[in-house]
Amino acid sequence: MANIASQPFKGLPSADLGDVVTTAQGFKNAAGAAIVLPLAQASKLKNKLFTVRAWGRVEGGTTVDFTPSLYYGTSAVVANDTLIKSATAAAVDSAKHNWHIEARLVWDADSDKIQGTFTARIAAIAVTALVVNAAISSADPEEDVSTAKGLIISGLFSTTHAGNHAYLDGFELEV
């Protein structure tokens, strides 16, 4: 039977991501710390299929696209993390919408890789399943309890505008 195995310790819903247009940034809590989905019990994911879900709200202040992404890492500066997959950018022009992403992944102990599929929906735009191909290597599920293991969600707008807002409302891992 499936159950929720991990959620961020605190910070949901996130603070406003703001007008991020040049480099994707991870969602942060009100105190400015990265919202991390911990993988502290990594050995429980060894050779298992698990699902990661994230969802939130977005508002475009003008003609603009929004792109949420899933990363392996613990830094809100996602350049320090490893991209698992990004959704295809979708228009959120001058309106309020919601979004979600879902990744079905396997973390295998022989290759130390996390692989699987990724789907997303932003506003009324659905992204068909994308393959996560060898996204993470040297991620050993046999090592237990490490603060360096976690997942981050980032967001990015295509055009700058003071009316661009995005929030992460939920983030969970289910086994």
Helices and strands (DSSP H and E) totals, the chain? 0, 12
In a domain, 117, yes or no: yes
State the residue range of the domain holding 29.
25-174
Total number of domains in the chain: 1
Q: Is 167 among the domain residues?
A: yes
| 14 within a domain of the structure (yes/no) | no
Q: Is 10 part of a structural domain of the chain?
A: no
CATH code, 137:
2.60.120
Is 42 inside a domain boundary? yes
Residue 22: the pLDDT is 79
Q: Is residue 5 part of a domain?
A: no
Looking at residue 1, what is its pLDDT?
A: 45
Mean pLDDT in order along the chain per 10 residues (175 residues): 70 88 88 85 78 96 93 85 89 94 88 86 84 63 61 93 95 91
DSSP one-letter string for 62-114: SS-EEEEEEEESS-SSGGGSEEEEEPPPEE-TTSEEEEEEEEEEEEETTTTEE
In a domain? residue 3? no
Amino acid 137: pLDDT? 57
| C-alpha–C-alpha distance, residues 91 and 88, integer Å | 10
